Amino acid sequence: MDQNAASSNGNPTFTYTPLPSGCIRLLRLSPHFDTTARIHCQLFDYPATVQHSAASSHLYEALSYVWGSSEKQHAITVTDERGDFDLPVTANLHAALAHLRNPLLDRMIWVDAVCINQEDNMEKAKQIQRMAEIYSHAARVVVWLGDREAEGGDDSEVLESLRVVASGIPFDPLFLADGKLKEKVVALVNRPWFNRIWVLQEVAAARSVLIKCGSAEVDGFAFCWGLELLSPTLPELRGRGLPPAIALIRGANFRSKQMAISTERFSLNLSPFGELVDRYQACQATVRHDKVFSLLGMSSDDWLPDGLLPNYEQPWEDLLQRLVRYLIGDQVSVETWPDTEMVVVRGVGRILAAISDISFVAGTQVASLTPTKSSGWAGLDGGLPLQAWAKPLQVGDLVCILQGALGPVIVRPHADYFSIVVTCPPFTVENEDLNPEQGLEYNFLLVWDWETEPEISPGKESEFAGWLGRRVPQCLNEEAQALAGKQVRLRDKAFILEDMGEYEQASLAFLEVGNSFQQDLGKENLYTLEAKERIALLHNKMGEADKASAMLQEIMKARKGLQGVGHADTFKSVLHLVAIYHQNNARAWGPVAQVYREGSETRTEEDVISIAESCSAEQVAFLLDWDVQFPITEGVLEAAARNTIYGDEVVELLLARAGKDIDVTERILVAAAGNCRKGEHLLDVLLSRYGGDVPITGEMLVAAAANVGQGEEAVKLLLKRRKGKVRVTSAMLTAAVGNGRYGQSISTQLLERGENDTAVTFEVFMAAWLNWRQGRQAIQVILNPNRTHNSLLKMVHTGALFAFVGSRLSCLVVAGCMAWQLVCYAMLMASWLGNLHSWLNWLNSWFNRATVWSKLPSRAALWVTANMERLENVFGWVGETLIRYQGREKEIVAFILDYLF
């Protein structure tokens, strides 16, 4: 019988005594020449916190190893004052102690499986919190990789090769060509120790490391440096990278041997706790709790909740929930299960950026972040340097932030949910860095699995879902497995893709959502219409406006049948279609887009008037069909009558839609009469609606007379409709003679139909005089004594009156200048008309009658008559001067008229 078997010698089983406060147990390993002899040892209490011990490391070694299988155990003999006792240990620990035993001297070792009472959870919890301190105080940490694994295997050959490579001695990389040594190196790195999570803290705390494999051993730094030099020649290591423990071992020799004593929780302060979880979550542990507890001693967090401190009494699923809430936030819903290392997190959050590229910058691998359009986040200058995370980042991963979260989370999109890649990336996002108004929030279903995810081919995300279902069938509750829940998540994912600018992928995602709802609820349902509408908008963003508008028209028809024209969803589709029309024809649809914009819920009459005044009949008909708030009022019809491009079409449309609910008023006809392009047609349409019952007013004739585009036809039509004589007012005649295109003809029409007492006032004459195209002809018409009563003589009388008043006020110079200017003005007008001789004769007789000029000799008038030709030249020059100073002349005339009337 094997003398090392647990029950081989009949000793009683060892029982632990309580451990004094502040102490640890150490194992004194007794010497023996024979490695196969039974292992004898002693356990004693050691005050690890004595003050003098803080100056340097302690004279004990700490063993870092893998427990191994507990099925086949071996017994070691523990001796104390009570006698000899048997203590069962695993086969791997037994082999380690056998190879560590010195032939001549006792060896002081700390071994967790022996120095901690594994049956006392309270003691174990306390001692686990001190493990980082224990390993940091040790003079050396011995890493036990195990005994020989293959028949004929020589571990010493592998360790010696690594030592030689690390020493810098030239070697030929081709010595690996035979494959044997290569296989041994890879097999050594694949041993279980490199994948265990507890060993990370143990070597991270070490001040010196010895690698031991069977009887062979090598310094830890040489071991790591040799592996790093050889890894480029080993495809198996080059692809996946070296285990995380390698970097921690290599730094052991450079750590300070001086230890500071602290009454607070001891920690190595390597990294924030969340970063440690992200790096080492895939490492293995015999007890799942240790995947959390083993990282506490390396955490740099100033505070950790009590729920994360070592306590093996709490269920694993509760510990995992507390961890998620600490890392991500307490405003999320968390689901965990007893036998899995998977978490399902539900929460509301925003997408900040997408990883668009991964490249090397100055020897460092960096991920480029492209912020989403709605987040308002500026991103990171220089990108995100990648770390040795358990799940490497990929292009397409997303940076999101959940409500109540302490920082961002990096996730990876899948079919209808996201997997968490990094919970605590090394950057922060402040609320003031985000856009609070435009940021879009989504419902997230996040799956955080600490096991390695399978590689899924692009476009075959369903494989992941199948793997997830096989992995933990109960991981998604009934709500998440329900069809509606999945469809909502698919929809949110599609919105996220759209926010990222991935329009084609987003349209495919919305198509999947629509097909799913259509299959479940039928073709005509609101959820399918919503998905189709998002697809239409995406087509527009991709430059396919025609396809987008056609889809929206079909969607609007469907909504009209399901929800009605006045429903908010239908109106929202109208807004989307108007936006597309405006985008592709801004000039035509600008007025409509100004009124029908996102967020506009009501339209005022002023809004509708602005559309009727400038838009086409097609646009107005579209709005009449789809907007219940598009009234047809007198003001709207008047605005349509002013529409110079589409007025006739829009008016006919509005009259047809309104029926007998609206009357054609004077305001509408006045607007139509003044329309320079459509006036005649508009008047014909409006007047025909009511036959001869519509009175033709002076305001209509004034508007028509001033119409430079269709004034002649409009006046003719209005006069035709009006019976009998027309009282031609000064306003009508002023508008007519001022018409630059039809001044003569309109004036003639009005005066022919007008009454005999039509007066030509100063305003009429000034309007004609200022008409540079038709003024001469218009003046000839209005000064025809057969048609008008001439009042121009009043200007000369005005000049004489001012001369008289000026003489009484001793202002003869001013009065004379004003009188002379008015007389010259009248003469200039007469010269244009060819009646200068008659005007001079009249002036001669008037001078003789005027008492103010009685002292002037009568031969002055004769001189004027004799020098007529010369005066005509002078009057021409004066006329040009008057035109040049036209503004001042108007002021003088206005003052005179105000005085007289």
Predicted confidence (pLDDT) per residue in 620-637, tens digit: 999 888 887 888 899 999
Residues with Cβ within 8 Å of residue 690, at least 6 apart in sequence: 664
* Two tokens, residue 26: 């150490």
pLDDT class of 586 with cuts at 50, 70, 90: confident
Any idea which of 103-117, 328-342, 378-392 has the lowest mean pLDDT? 378-392
Name the residue among 255, 247, 160, 167 with its Cα closest to residue 205.
255
* Amino acid 565: pLDDT: 85
Dist. CA 159–CA 216, nearest whole Å: 7
Dist. CA 539–CA 533, nearest whole Å: 10
Highest mean pLDDT, choosing among 93-107, 263-277, 365-379, 396-410: 93-107
Percent of the chain's residues with pLDDT above 70:
75
Helix, strand, coil: what percent of the chain each, to 5?
A: 50, 15, 35
pTM over the 0.75 mark: no
Any idea which of 353-357, 499-503, 730-734 has the lowest mean pLDDT? 499-503
Dist. CA 899–CA 893, nearest whole Å: 10
| Residue indicated by tokens 């005594």 | 17
Query: 10 Å Cβ neighbour count for 224?
Result: 25
- Single-letter code of the amino acid located at 108: M
Percent of the chain's residues with pLDDT above 90:
27
pLDDT class of 212 with cuts at 50, 70, 90: very high
Dist. CA 62–CA 199, nearest whole Å: 11
Beta pairing partners, 359: 366
DSSP state string for 669-718:
HHHHHT-TTTHHHHHHHHHHHHTT-S---HHHHHHHHT-TTTHHHHHHHH
Any idea which of 72-86, 706-720, 849-863 has the lowest mean pLDDT? 849-863
Beta pairing partners, 141: 62, 209
pLDDT tops 80 at residue 21: yes
pLDDT tops 80 at residue 113: yes
Query: What is the sign of the dihedral through the CA atoms of 652, 653, 655 and 660?
Result: positive
Dist. CA 196–CA 214, nearest whole Å: 19
DSSP assignment letter at 300: -
Dist. CA 655–CA 613, nearest whole Å: 15
Q: Does residue 836 contact residue 881 with C-beta atoms inside 8 Å?
A: no
Q: What is the CA radius of gyration of the chain?
A: 51
Query: 10 Å Cβ neighbour count for 208?
Result: 18
* Amino acid 201: pLDDT: 93
Q: Please, what's the b/e burial string for 450-469 (b: 16 or more CB within 10 A of its CB; e: otherwise)?
A: beebeebeeeeeeebbeebe
pLDDT tops 60 at residue 446: yes
| Residue indicated by tokens 């009057």 | 875
* Amino acid 163: pLDDT: 86
Segment 736-741 shows an average pLDDT of 90
Beta pairing partners, 370: 354
Taking only the tens place, the pLDDT of each residue in 65-99 is: 998 887 888 999 999 888 899 999 999 999 999 99
Residue 131 or 785, more confident: 131
pLDDT tops 90 at residue 715: yes
Name the residue among 760, 836, 844 with its Cα closest to residue 794.
760
Any idea which of 398-407, 516-525, 614-623 has the lowest mean pLDDT? 516-525
Element (H, E) at 884: helix 868-884
Q: CA-based diameter of the chain, in Å?
A: 169
Q: Does residue 359 contact residue 365 with C-beta atoms inside 8 Å?
A: yes
* Average pLDDT for the chain: 78
Taking only the tens place, the pLDDT of each residue in 152-202 is: 456 777 888 888 888 877 665 555 555 677 788 888 888 999 999 999 999
Dist. CA 148–CA 154, nearest whole Å: 7
The CA-atom distances, in angstroms, between 15 and each of 29, 84, 117 are 18, 11, 9
In three-state secondary structure terms, 526 is helix
* Amino acid 778: pLDDT: 83
pLDDT tops 50 at residue 855: no
Residue 866 or 348, more confident: 348
Residue 771 or 713, more confident: 713
DSSP assignment letter at 415: S
Q: Does residue 285 contact residue 197 with C-beta atoms inside 8 Å?
A: yes
Dist. CA 59–CA 105, nearest whole Å: 14
